[in-house]
Structure formats: C-alpha cells, structure tokens
Amino acid sequence: MTFRQSLPMAVTMLTLACGLAALEAARTGAWDASLRLILLAAIADGVDGPLARWLGATSAMGEQLDSLADMVAFGIAPAFLFSAYYDRVPDAVRFGGALVFVLAGAYRLARYHAQPTDGAFCGLPITVAGPLLTATVAGPFGAGAREAGAVGIGLAALMACHHPFPPFAQPRRWLLPAIAAASLPVALWPRGETLAVVVALTFGLYVVWGLVGRVVNDDVPRIDGEVREVVGPRP
C-alpha cells in the first residue's frame, strides 16, 4: 500500500470508527452522541471516495473496506440504536425490526459489488437509509416505536428493491440550493436536534426525488442495461 492510497483508506477507517463509537454511545443511552457520530460517519464516507479519485488512489481493497465500514456505520449502528432506544418494546419487535434493516443493508451492499450497474443506483443506498433511520429515532420528531419501525421497514424495502435512485454525483440543480439552505441552521445552531432535521430534509428530498423524479422529468438517471455478474474485483 502506498502513502497515497493510505490517505483515503484512513478516512474510510474514520467511518468505521465512528460507527463503532455510535454503537457504544447507544449502549450507554447517549442518543445525541450516537446521532452525531453516525452523521460524522456519513460525512467521512462522502469524502473518502472523491479523495481517492482525486489522488488517483482507487483500489479494490479500498472499495471492499468502504462497504465493510458502511455496514457498521449505516447498517448495524442505526439498527442497534433503534433497538436500544425503544427498550420497553417487546424484544421480538425490537430485534425483528433491527434484523430486517441490517439484512436489507447487507443485501444491498452485496448486490452493489456482485451485480454492478451503469447509471443510477439499484435500490436506496445504505448511506442514505442509515442516517434517515437514525434521525427518525434520535431526532426531535417524537417518533414512537411503531412509527420508527415503519420507517425502518420502509427503508429496508427501498434498499432491497431494484428501483433506480440518482447518483450523488448528479444531483438536480434545485437540490443543491436546498441542501445549502438546510445546512445553514447547522452552522448557526449546531444542536443534535437541528442536525436530525437537516438530515431528514436532505436525505428525505433525495428519497422522494428518486421515487417520483422520473414521473416529472425524463432525464433522471436510469439503470443502463441488465445487471451483470462479475468475477473478481472491479477496477
């Protein structure tokens, strides 16, 4: 491994570390800290890929490590937060909801590598589903176990489905100003509750656009051709 390759990999490790720390925070009932750590993991996850491409340091190992970090930070940590937060709910309900979310996230990540597609994402990315579930549980929305469970099951279904979602590198023109405007409260009033609202608005807009964008605009990215199974790592 070269020094150039180690820089983006270190950022990926930060994603993994934040996910593990979020698990510990949820275990001790520090809900706000768990929320912040998962959102920090989302920021780190958004940096490592562009950094690797900018440095010309992309690698098959880095790609696999990124998926492992995503599984912990955006699959296991939000599911554990859900289970720990609603500790008075029957164990079967808590574990069942968490398990469905984790299984769908694992399936989504495995399909991403085994059946790569050109164009749009096949299914909702786990990097969107995880922060959305986290914001629902630990945010200021007052979601009960039933509502949060419904959100988790819905996000799991979107991850497992084959519906195309637009790549992050090709956002709609109107979405960027919306994200900038939604980020302003974070800079002025950096509270965990505000972060949850911003995340819900930002990623919620992304999910809505992915679901209905093609109906109102034909140039929303599509999944080009049939998915193809590959043998060995992708370049």
Question: 101: domain range?
Answer: 3-224
Report if residue 64 sits inside a domain: yes
pTM of the model: 0.81
Residue 119's Cβ-side half-sphere holds a number of Cα atoms within 13 Å equal to 15
CB-based contact 120:221 (threshold 8 Å):
yes
d(CA 130, CA 69): 12
d(CA 110, CA 95): 22
Residue 235 lies inside a defined structural domain of this protein: no
For residue 23, being part of any structural domain is answered with yes
Report the pLDDT value the prediction gives residue 206, as an integer from 0 to 100: 87
Q: How far apart are CA 49 and CA 35, in angstroms?
A: 23
Tens-digit pLDDT profile for residues 150-174: 999 999 999 999 888 887 654 445 5
Residue-wise pLDDT for 56-114, tens only, equals: 877 788 888 899 999 999 999 999 999 999 999 999 989 999 999 999 999 999 998 88
CATH number assigned to the domain comprising residue 161: 1.20.120.1760
Q: What domain count does the chain have?
A: 1
The DSSP 8-state label assigned to residue 29 in this structure reads T
